Each structure stands twice: as structure tokens, then as C-alpha cells.
């Protein structure tokens, strides 16, 4: 699925998905970038674990911070795997590690693209759209999908382009993402699926 980028220190590579010319990265630049990617993946999974064990409390800023951190790391990983045509040249994206990204040529699934768009409206920018709906984040569904992409990437990325932290990272199995307080979730914060969605208190 992934074809390796022919790395050199000069020239540019063309991202076939975005049809943009991007500066070609050296092996050392990509190795350093892999540490930043590791951090995003690790924090994303840690936030999912935390949300699975925390009881939402109205007006609790700590709980809001968990939700916001989850959304931010989700947003960064979606930008890595599914960059838009407006991706900045200094943004790390998956195709930097390969010559072509056949998976990236496919459109992001509509439901996940909606999550990405909502992350802009509900977190990255202060917008009037926040007032239009009671946003819920279906974190087990999102996590399962993103971690499948992460695992595929880790299996196929050239190993000499990533450092040990990322090489050794173990993606959590999907079946461990289950809240012990599902019954309470189902009655108080039901969203896309009972018991597995979270929301941030905007008006407390």
C-alpha cells in the first residue's frame, strides 16, 4: 500500500493526494519527526484511556481539558494521515515517509471528516457554529479507526526512517476501550452510541 520515498537531500517530492510540491525531507529530519508523531499517538491513546475511567461532572474544567486534549490529538493525527489541499509545508504528513500514499488518495470517510471539521469549530477556532448543536465525541469509535490506521502505518513505514519510540509503540487493542460507567453515560450524555460519547460543558 505504501511505496517508499526515494530520499535525497535535495529537490522536492510531489504529494499525489494533495498535488502539492513539498520540500523533501532528509532521513534525519524524518527520524526526528517520528518522535513528534509518537507523542501525538501516545497522548491520543492516553486521553482515550482517561476518558474511559472518568465520570463527567458539569462545569468540571479538568474533565473539559481531557475532552479538549483528546480532540486536539485526534485532529493532529487526522491531519497527518488525511492532509487537505491547504496543508502547510511545515506540517508533518504520512506521505513524507513514502513516494506515494495510495491510501491517502482515497477520501476520508464522511463521518470522520465531520469529526475533523467539528474539531475546527469546537476547539481550534472560536465560532458561532458551536452554538448550533450539542457536540458529542464518540471516542471509542474514533480511537478504533485511527489506531487501525496507525498500526498499518507502523507495519509498512521504512523502519530506518523512524526512531525506537515509534518502532516499539504498541497500539492498544480496541476491546480495552470500554467505560466502567456506561450506564451513567447512557442516561446523561447519550450521543452517537449509548454510553461511549463525551461532551464538553460550554455554558457552565
Helix (H, G, I), strand (E, B) or coil at 13: strand
Query: How many domains does one find in the chain?
Result: 1
The per-residue pLDDT of the chain, averaged, comes to 77
Specify the pTM: 0.77
pLDDT band at 143, cuts 50/70/90? very high
51: in domain: yes
126: in domain: yes
40: in domain: yes
**Residue-wise pLDDT tens digits, 104-125:** 455 789 999 999 999 988 888 8
Written as one string, the DSSP assignment of 116-153 is: HHHHIIIIIS--GGGGGS---EEHHHHHHHHHHHHHHH
Helix (H, G, I), strand (E, B) or coil at 67: helix
Mean pLDDT calculated for residue range 97-101:
72
Q: Please choose, from the candidates 41, 29, 43, 31, the residue with its C-alpha nearest in 3D space to the C-alpha of residue 149.
A: 41
- In this structure, the strands spanning 197-198 and 98-101 are unpaired
198: which strand partners?
Answer: 137
Position with higher pLDDT, 137 vs 28: 28
| Neighbour-count burial of 135, counting CB atoms closer than 10 A to its CB (0-12 exposed, 13-18 middle, 19+ buried) | buried
203: in domain: no
* Domain carrying residue 124: 2-198
**Residue-wise pLDDT tens digits, 55-92:** 777 678 888 889 999 999 999 999 999 998 888 889 99
Which residues touch 96 (CB under 8 Å, ≥6 apart)? Answer: 5, 13, 22, 25, 30, 33
The pLDDT value given to residue 203: 41
Position with higher pLDDT, 14 vs 168: 168
131: in domain: yes
- In this structure, the number of other CB atoms found within 10 A of the CB of residue 3 comes to 12
**Residue-wise pLDDT tens digits, 8-65:** 433 333 334 444 567 789 999 999 999 999 999 999 999 999 988 877 776 788 888 8
204: in domain: no
Q: Percent of the chain scored above 70 by pLDDT?
A: 70
Measure the CA–CA gap between 1 and 120, rounded to whole angstroms: 30
168: in domain: yes
Helix (H, G, I), strand (E, B) or coil at 2: strand
The pLDDT value given to residue 127: 84
Mean pLDDT calculated for residue range 172-200:
45
Amino acid at each position: 500500500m505504501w511505496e517508499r520515498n526515494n530520499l535525497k537531500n535535495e529537490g522536492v517530492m510531489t504529494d499525489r493526494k494533495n498535488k502539492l510540491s513539498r520540500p523533501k525531507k532528509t532521513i534525519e529530519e524524518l527520524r526526528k519527526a517520528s518522535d513528534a508523531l509518537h507523542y501525538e499517538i501516545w497522548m491520543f491513546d492516553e486521553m482515550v484511556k482517561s476518558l474511559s475511567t472518568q465520570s463527567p461532572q458539569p462545569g468540571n474544567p479538568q474533565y473539559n481539558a481531557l475532552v479538549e486534549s483528546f480532540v486536539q490529538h485526534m485532529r493532529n493525527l487526522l491531519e497527518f494521515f488525511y492532509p487537505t489541499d491547504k496543508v502547510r509545508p511545515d506540517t508533518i504528513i504520512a506521505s513524507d515517509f513514502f513516494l506515494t500514499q495510495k491510501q491517502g488518495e482515497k477520501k476520508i470517510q464522511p463521518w470522520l471528516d465531520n469529526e475533523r471539521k467539528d474539531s475546527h469549530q469546537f476547539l481550534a477556532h472560536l465560532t458561532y457554529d458551536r452554538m448550533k448543536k450539542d457536540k458529542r465525541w464518540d471516542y471509542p469509535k474514533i480511537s478504533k479507526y485511527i489506531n487501525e490506521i496507525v498500526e498499518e502505518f507502523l507495519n509498512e513505514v521504512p523502519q530506518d526512517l523512524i526512531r525506537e519510540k515509534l518502532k516499539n509503540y504498541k497500539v492498544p487493542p480496541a476491546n480495552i476501550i470500554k467505560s466502567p460507567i456506561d450506564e451513567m453515560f447512557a442516561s446523561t450524555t447519550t450521543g452517537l452510541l449509548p454510553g461511549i460519547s463525551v461532551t464538553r460543558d460550554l455554558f457552565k
